[in-house]
Structure 1
Amino acid sequence: MLSETKGLHVVAQTPFHPDGAVDHDSLRTLSQFYYRHGAQGLTVLGVSGEAQKLTMDESVAVAAGFVAAAEGRRIIAGVSSPNLAQMVELTRQVMAEGCDAVMICPPGGIRTDEDLVRYFEAVFERIGDVPVVLQDFPAASGVVMSVPAIVRLLEAFPQIGVIKAEDFPSPKKISRLRAETTRPVRILTGNNGQYLVQELERGADGPMAGFSYPEMLSGVYELMTEGRRAEAHDLFNRFLPLLKHEAQGQWGIALRKEMLRRRGALACAALRGPGPKLDDTDLAELDFLLSRMDLPA
């Protein structure tokens, strides 16, 4: 149940072969890597998982592969799309494959609170009681959801059990959500985990982010829940140069996948085209950065 969602839920990469085909074998090794390093569940088919480059059939197969490797852990599938019919069909299929919930970010074009409510009325008329993570990510969607608007959605649609908070400034918005929501709701945070410690201090229930060292994300969460604030900040700061380096859009995803390859989670670091490829200078910069950080293998 989404009401029990807490801790690290990694936004999973999608593995590809060098020719761009989905690497289904690496779905399992990648999943095992994430769980070994503290993930309580995964969010698949996200933007950083290159979902926009997959066909409908590939999206369903990738979600099914992550479900098969989950061994009962929570799998949330991103289904956001400007095409409502396609979003509804993808929701139907990934839920049939065993996903626990879907994540929806409202599409561009929504301008008012009334537009927002009407959109989700149309969504839930079609998907029914499917559990939903509401993604608040205006930098990507162009849709600004005020706290009163989110509260209105929570009151109208009990299917929404988690908010993924990625609006800026995220710590202040989390404080307002905690103060103004009228029913219990879980809050997970994204933005590549760059503001994780502050977000946890404001009441977030865990990170929903990607990073090549997921043990940092889960470790910071655990230290904060134990009240060990200074240690949580120290752990976060130890990894910050690489975290920042990976937070550079699709180019950052290429860096992350290279790191995951080096750590044995992926057989190949390729992004599906169109997408960046790291050159010798990029790799040399990464090597130098890592040489200054003394990180675990």
Structure 2
Amino acid sequence: MSTSPLSNGVWGVVATPFNGSTYDLDEGSLARLVEHYEQVGVTGLTVLGVFGEAAALSSEERRAVLETVADTVELPLVVGATTLATAPVIEEVRLAQEVLGDRMAGAMVQVNSGNAEVLSRHLKAVHEATGAGVVVQDYPLVSGVRISGQALAAAAKSLPFVIGVKAEAPPTSTAVPALTQALDVPVFGGLGGIGLLDELAGGSAGAMTGFSYPEGLIACVDAWRTGNYEAAREAFLPYLPLVNFEQQAGIALAIRKECLRQRGLIMESSVRPPALPMPEVLLDQLRRHLNAVETATTLQGVR
């Protein structure tokens, strides 16, 4: 498999839609969602990530998600691994390879230790067993593992099959520039895009996240490439209140799925327990944010 660095830009992190209270996989909504990502011009997709609730899916469901996405779009695909232990990660990567073959651009593997040598051995074992290029995800809020930027850079720098880093350990405004200076592979921000402007200023390659309006991420990154900070800020301003609204601790996933439902991209916004559902008290405010984005982008001629 290819171990070429990931392309710069916006990699959309794909939600996994479910049907109502049964929580059955909604393959029709999934196809519609990834078609939208392709139409708005993302660089690629990240499937079965944290936003995709992969940890709540069976092996059969993960296979179905991958098959649906691969059959629907031609975009390169990064596939997330949900666990921290080496053997289960290898199993997940092999499953993705069986389904995707050469369509798989890489496997996203979470940091599993704060020790650079332990992390390096883990990543090396995954690669040696699968041949996959590895995107290293530093997301302590989910993994529970904290690693210093120096240790992360040391582990990644020694491994030629690392094709990117996803930096989601706050403050990303300092983490991203430190990693970009130490590494020769692209470093992407995440966290719903909340730090995107500062991450771009620090040298990030773009965004890899599940914000419900990928159009906004693309507009910001494109403006940064072709213009400057002022152009990128202006492009991102209409979306920033919604970015902030989506990033509410404990309910961010449910809010984003409801935004996608309100946009007509998925049929229902169910999240699988133990994830918390969208509080009804926030629905009116969510609609205000969505209406504001629609109004602003229509006036700018974005849509």
Whether TM exceeds 0.5 here: the answer is yes
Instruction: Confirm or deny that 1:119 pairs with 2:122.
Output: yes
Task: Decide which of 130, 133, 136 is 1:134's aligned counterpart.
Answer: 136
Distance in structure 1 (CA, Å) of the matches to 2:43 and 2:169: 24
Flag the 1:113–1:208 CA change in 2: closer, same or farther, 3 A: same
Helix, strand or coil: the match of 2:18? coil
TM-superposed deviation, 1:46:
1.0
TM-superposed deviation, 1:14:
0.5
In the other structure, the counterpart of 1:61 is 64
Flag the 1:30–1:292 CA change in 2: closer, same or farther, 3 A: closer
5+ unaligned residues in a row in structure 1: which ranges? none
TM-superposed deviation, 1:233:
0.6
Distance in structure 2 (CA, Å) of the matches to 1:138 and 1:131: 22
Helix, strand or coil: the match of 2:45? strand
Superposed CA offset, 1:236-269 (max 9, x none): 2221111111112452222211221122211222
Flag the 1:125–1:200 CA change in 2: closer, same or farther, 3 A: same
Size of the aligned set, in residue pairs, is 291
Task: Decide which of 101, 106, 119 is 2:106's aligned counterpart.
Answer: 101
AA aligned opposite 1:44: V
In the other structure, the counterpart of 2:19 is 17
Distance in structure 1 (CA, Å) of the matches to 2:279 and 2:180: 45
Structure 1 segments (4+ residues) deviating >6 Å:
none
In the other structure, the counterpart of 2:54 is 51
Distance in structure 2 (CA, Å) of the matches to 1:233 and 1:168: 21
Q: Point out the more displaced range, 163-172 or 209-218.
A: 163-172
Helix, strand or coil: the match of 1:48? coil
Distance in structure 1 (CA, Å) of the matches to 2:36 and 2:179: 33
Distance in structure 1 (CA, Å) of the matches to 2:288 and 2:185: 42
Alpha-carbon contact 1:20-1:273 (below 8 Å) kept: no
TM-superposed deviation, 1:176:
1.8
Alpha-carbon contact 1:60-1:90 (below 8 Å) kept: no
| Cα RMSD after superposing both structures | 2.0
Alpha-carbon contact 2:40-2:215 (below 8 Å) kept: yes
5+ unaligned residues in a row in structure 2: which ranges? 298-302
Instruction: Confirm or deny that 1:258 pairs with 2:249.
Output: no
In the other structure, the counterpart of 1:147 is 149
AA aligned opposite 1:86: P
Alpha-carbon contact 2:114-2:147 (below 8 Å) kept: no
Flag the 1:280–1:180 CA change in 2: closer, same or farther, 3 A: closer
Flag the 1:44–1:263 CA change in 2: closer, same or farther, 3 A: same
Alpha-carbon contact 2:50-2:82 (below 8 Å) kept: no
Q: Percent identity among equivalent residues? A: 31
| TM-score normalised by L of structure 2 | 0.88
Distance in structure 2 (CA, Å) of the matches to 1:41 and 1:229: 24
**For 1:183-222, what aligned pairs fall within 5 Å after superposition?**
184-222=184-222
Superposed CA offset, 1:179-237 (max 9, x none): 223xx211111011101011111111110011111100000000000023212112222
TM-superposed deviation, 1:273:
2.8
| TM-score normalised by L of structure 1 | 0.90
Task: Decide which of 137, 156, 159 is 1:157's aligned counterpart.
Answer: 159
**For 1:235-254, what aligned pairs fall within 5 Å after superposition?**
235-254=235-254
